[in-house]
Structure formats: structure tokens, C-alpha cells
Amino acid sequence: MARPWRGVIEEYREWLPFDDDVKAQTLGEGGTPLVHSAWLSQVVRGDVYVKVEGQNPTGSFKDRGMTTAISAAVAQGAKAVVCASTGNTSASMTAYAARAGLTPIVLVPHGRIAAGKMAQAVMHGADIIQVRGNFDDCLDLSRGLAKEYPVALVNSVNPIRIEGQKTASFEIADVLGQAPDLHVLPVGNAGNITAYWKGFVEYEAAGVTTSRPRIWGFQAAGAAPIVLGRVVPEPDTVATAIRIGNPASWTFAENARDESGGRIDMVQDEQILAAQRELGAREGIFVEPASATGVAGLLAAAAAGEIEPGLTITVTVTGHGLKDIDTAMAHRGDLVDAVIDVDVDAAAETAGLR
């Protein structure tokens, strides 16, 4: 029998800046599926694989960086941890903090967190502080708290988060046996694009792979500071996870774009929601809106004729669809609204079978 997956720290420890005696605080994160998409492959006339990060323990890629951040915090003797979040960071942080016996403090923009993510933080026993402000304000507050009080900051401005998140690139290259030609992902606070690029670069430098992918990042049009080249004071998008106007890893993201010969562009909310629906209906992969942003970008680029045929392309979908069912149901079709009696003919009629 193959050995069970041990979580990203034990699977990739030699690639991480941990001494051997640092204990891994883990929920078995990583090892997520890389699913071939016939639909997207046909659209781009190449081979497209979807990295399904919603399969992580708390339903998003954040778990990769949180196992490393919480393990480091414990090793350094921290008793409490703080983060700002649009939802997924807090869902992940509170889970790992609970496991490690640390007190979690969460700062979120008031009324702008998807219900599923809020429920996660609640169930993990966090102190949740809702702030009259946006994510960027929450991050400023978290930094202030960590500076003046004995709490460890576990946002992705903490470099150990990036170290954990880079393992997604390793997994992709391990499964493909090489680096893809192009990697596509959503961009919010820009930690993940930074992490993916770092992982691909390290694998090539060590000779595990012989090339690096171009990196294409996509922001939501209402929250696209990197594309516009200026801070967006009041970011707005249906993809609440990436409603961020002043990304902390802005320069690192530009670096990933430029060094890889890639691009960072934006897509409209309608394109994000359409990509989310199609991914669910065509491939059986249900993601939250922000997570569909990379797919939306890939579709737009293909429609514009910007993708040469024959490429191997990987796309990260970052978080599970169940986190934000309100948005999903707000765009539901008519079928959900049909209510019938217990009658086969009526069921057949409604289902369009006759």
C-alpha cells in the first residue's frame, strides 16, 4: 500500500526553512488533485489541468501556508496569532491555531465575508473582530497589533506563509513530470502568485525541472490595482475573497509577471460568474467566485486569440464553492424554483424528459 500523504511540511521538508526538530502542525493539507479538463483543453487547443485547491482541509490553498506559519509560531513560543482576512485566511488560520492550542484573533471587513468562511472561524473558536473598513484596513490593524502586542502575524506578509504555499508548484511539477508552459491563477493580496513563482524557480534551479512556466495572474476588474498601476481605495467585486485594493505582495507579483514573461490582467464579475458556472456544470468542479478568476482569464485570452496552440497549461482554482453558497444561489437557474407533486409525469415534464 502506498504510504498516506503526510501534509506539505513532511512531504517537502527539505525545501522548507525548518530545522529537523520543528514539529509540523498539520491537517494533512496539500496533495490536491490535478484534474485534466477536456473542455478547457479544447478551448485553448492544448492541454489544461486544473489544480483543485478547494480539496485542502479547510477548503482553500491557504492551508499550505498556514501549516508552515502556525508550526513556526509554535516553535517560536507564540501564544496568540492574528490575521486580516477576506475569509479564507481566517478559516484556515483558526483551524490550525485550534489544533496547535494558540489563541486566534481574526480581523475581517464588516459584512463582506462569505457565510461559510465565517462559520468556519466560529466553529474553530476564534475571536472574530469585524472592522468598519476593507481588507487593506484590516491588514494595517493586524500589523499594528503584532507590532505592539505579543501576537504573531500570520498573513502572507509573513514569508513563512509563502514557503508553504510554494509547495503547490512542486506538486504540479511532480505530477506532470515537468513544469507547465503556462500557469494561471487569481490574484488578490498577491501572496499566492509570489509563492507559485518561487516554487517553480526553485525546482528549476535544483534541476528537478528544466524550465519555468509563464505566470498569468488575473484580478477582478473592480479590484485590480496591479493592472491599473494604482491603489484602489474602495475595491468592489462579487469575488469577495479578492476584494483587495492594495496588495501586500504587489512588487513580488510584478516580479513574477516580468521574470516569467507573463501578464497580470483583469476580468469582469460577469466573466468570473460565467466561468464559475461552466466549471461546475462541465467539469464537476465547484469553486467560489474568486477561484474562477483564473479560468475566466484563460477563457478571455483564448477568445482573444492570445494562446498559441499546443501548450501545457495549469490553472489553480483556489477555494471550494461551498464557502459562498449565497452567491451561487443568487445566480441559480429556474429548475430550482419548480415545485411539483409526487408524480412521475410531472417530474418528467419539469425535467424536460417529454
Size of the site for ligand AN7 (CB under 6 A): 22
Applying CB under 6 A, does 57 fall inside the site for ligand AN7? Answer: no
Q: Which of 58, 189, 246, 271 binds ligand AN7 (CB under 6 A)?
A: 189
Reduce the secondary structure of 262-302 to three states and give it as a string: CEEEEECHHHHHHHHHHHHHHHCCCECHHHHHHHHHHHHHH
Burial tier of 280 (Cβ tally within 10 Å: 0-12, 13-18, 19+): middle
Applying CB under 6 A, does 276 fall inside the site for ligand AN7? Answer: no
Applying CB under 6 A, does 327 fall inside the site for ligand AN7? Answer: no
**What's the CA gap between 327 and 323, in Å, rounded?**
10
Q: Which is nearer to ligand AN7, 47 or 242 (CB)?
A: 242
Applying CB under 6 A, does 188 fall inside the site for ligand AN7? Answer: yes
Between 193 and 222, how does the x/- string for binding to ligand AN7 read (CB under 6 A)? Answer: x-----------------------------
- CA distances (Å), origin 166, targets 160, 170, 172, 193, 303: 10, 7, 10, 9, 30
Residue 153 CB-half CA count within 13 A: 18
Applying CB under 6 A, does 169 fall inside the site for ligand AN7? Answer: no
Q: Which of 242, 279, 285, 315 binds ligand AN7 (CB under 6 A)?
A: 242
Q: Which amino acid is at 240?
A: T
Q: Which is nearer to ligand AN7, 208 or 274 (CB)?
A: 274
Applying CB under 6 A, does 240 fall inside the site for ligand AN7? Answer: no
Q: Which is nearer to ligand AN7, 64 or 212 (CB)?
A: 64
Q: Which is nearer to ligand AN7, 29 or 47 (CB)?
A: 29
Task: Give me the residue label for grid cell 483543453.
Answer: 41
Q: Hey, what's the cell of 307?
A: 494562446
Applying CB under 6 A, does 167 fall inside the site for ligand AN7? Answer: no
**What's the CA gap between 242 and 245, in Å, rounded?**
9
**What's the CA gap between 151 and 82, in Å, rounded?**
6
Site stretch for ligand AN7 (CB under 6 A), options 143-151, 180-188, 301-309, 345-353:
180-188
Applying CB under 6 A, does 63 fall inside the site for ligand AN7? Answer: no
**What's the CA gap between 303 and 290, in Å, rounded?**
20
Site stretch for ligand AN7 (CB under 6 A), options 1-9, 15-23, 189-197, 202-210:
189-197
Applying CB under 6 A, does 88 fall inside the site for ligand AN7? Answer: yes
Applying CB under 6 A, does 29 fall inside the site for ligand AN7? Answer: no
Q: What are phi and psi of 285, to 5 degrees?
A: -115, 110
Residues engaged in binding ligand AN7 (CB under 6 A)? 60, 85-89, 156, 186-193, 241-242, 288, 290-291, 318-319
